[in-house]
Structure 1
């Protein structure tokens, strides 16, 4: 069987559709379709199911994909071994990180990594969307969620603790929420998923409770949300790292501390595609960030 045909199948399934595969391969869509049809005819079996938006592998298509991926990884590893022989670590790592966690926690790690490995290009996107994490050929994504997607490798970076917080002045004037249901009528400042009702889950011991929130300020920009809390505009439902320094100084106070609060999830995960060859640059980056998360007390087992 033609190795090039197998790697073409890998590219098509990784891309998700023929048009995207053609863009990545710098070929016409018709050419990609022709080679796929030729491969299917030579085997005598359908390898992918086509819909209007995506292509999905059949059972035999998935098996051939796995073989093709293994071959592609071996070729990439051999090529990298030759090109990096005797050189300092080089390459490119493209990652997607949450806006708040990326700016407030990970930015120092990324800068330190760059100092240690100046030959590695870091291509960093700050965003919070969960759907289709591996679009645009992202190597690594970091996200807050309760359960990671089954189709991705997930490395646990530790628990995420949300706090109900407000400026000291706001708390003294209005009184901090004393019951979880008080948040349902409070002027809440938080992030939210567009188009969905915002439900806050609260865990106290083994019991789980839920309250529907009606935020007064919603944003994906956690630095802006922190400013809104400090300005005394309401009660923030924010990860603790967003207001860590403000709490230490006493500018911000919290309530409902015995509760474990969750909006998007309770864990931070590093996510990447299985069976995809990791360059030495990407592998080094993964282990560096996991070590930093562990030292910060957020890594798995911390």
Structure 2
């Protein structure tokens, strides 16, 4: 067994299949399979179980993987320390952020970070889907969740507060709803999955209520939804950061203020793979954004 064999095992298990490992290693799939077989022969036990969908480590394979991961990360740290000695921080960070939160809240933070670290390449995806961090090679993702996922490292960025709101003109000729069921009769504006009913949860005096609603205007673009609210098209259910300036200026009024509302979850998390090595660039980025999030909260 040599160092190259251990790092090969790490890449194979991180990729979860031979084809993806071959792509990352810039080798043929047959070559990757051959080296894995040779490693298993040298150890004398099976290290990887092959299923129809993915590769999983055996108990011995997992132990070797953990050793190999430690060694690979230490080598990367040593190489980075030598190559960046006396230089500005460099590297690449691939980031996935929600479209609304990313544009309306995080954009100034990202610009400030880039200004402070011009040598770091920021690759920012604005999207709302829950992606596979391994498959898409995402270093860090920011998502609204009800609770932290057990298979990822999750750093709490603070609470997300949802509001029910509308323009004063829209509400001038009607009574404001006082409970969740009253929303059924209203034209609703929100971000949700097209073709599925909106499941709105609300908490009042320690009790949880839930109602299924059918929005009349749906989009993942929160700036468009804000324009729809200002245009008097209905009652919106959205995070408060989308309309907080409009509320302060009286362009938007809120209702159901005693309720704590939730659609996707009430906490914003920064998540990343527990076994993914973070470069100095990624670690610096994580600390920078968490500090900004704490200050904003």
CA distance in 2, matches of 1:287, 1:153: 14
Question: Displacement, 1:194?
Answer: 4.8
User: Is the Cα–Cα contact under 8 Å of residues 15 and 134 in structure 2 kept in the other structure?
Assistant: no
Q: 1:196 to 1:39 in 2, by over 3 A?
A: farther
1:145 match: 145
The farther-off stretch of 38-47 and 238-247 is 38-47
CA distance in 2, matches of 1:8, 1:76: 15
Equivalent positions of 1:96-175 (< 5 A) are 96-175=96-175
Count matched residues: 297
Question: Displacement, 1:42?
Answer: 2.2
The farther-off stretch of 225-234 and 39-48 is 39-48
| Cα deviations by residue, 1:124-167 (Å, 9 ceiling, x for unpaired) | 00011114234321111110001122111111000000001111
Q: Secondary structure at the match of 1:243?
A: helix
TM-score, scaled to structure 1: 0.94
CA distance in 2, matches of 1:156, 1:51: 35
Q: 1:223 to 1:135 in 2, by over 3 A?
A: farther
The farther-off stretch of 196-205 and 232-241 is 196-205
CA distance in 2, matches of 1:279, 1:43: 31
CA distance in 2, matches of 1:234, 1:130: 28
User: Is the Cα–Cα contact under 8 Å of residues 189 and 225 in structure 1 kept in the other structure?
Assistant: yes
Question: Displacement, 1:196?
Answer: 4.1
1:278 match: 278
Question: Displacement, 1:37?
Answer: 1.9
User: Is the Cα–Cα contact under 8 Å of residues 185 and 214 in structure 1 kept in the other structure?
Assistant: no
| Cα deviations by residue, 1:239-284 (Å, 9 ceiling, x for unpaired) | 0001111111111111001111111111000111113221111111
Q: Secondary structure at the match of 1:45?
A: coil
CA distance in 2, matches of 1:203, 1:133: 32
The farther-off stretch of 96-105 and 113-122 is 113-122
CA distance in 1, matches of 2:88, 2:177: 55
Question: Displacement, 1:97?
Answer: 0.5
1:92 match: 92
Question: Displacement, 1:16?
Answer: 2.0
CA distance in 2, matches of 1:244, 1:115: 27
1:10 match: 10
Question: Displacement, 1:178?
Answer: 1.5
Equivalent positions of 1:157-236 (< 5 A) are 157-194=157-194, 196-236=196-236
Instruction: Indicate the RMSD between aligned Cα atoms, in angstroms.
Output: 1.4
| Cα deviations by residue, 1:98-118 (Å, 9 ceiling, x for unpaired) | 100000000000001111111
The farther-off stretch of 104-113 and 46-55 is 46-55
Q: 1:36 to 1:240 in 2, by over 3 A?
A: same
1:300 match: none
CA distance in 2, matches of 1:183, 1:58: 52
Question: Displacement, 1:47?
Answer: 2.1
CA distance in 1, matches of 2:35, 2:194: 40
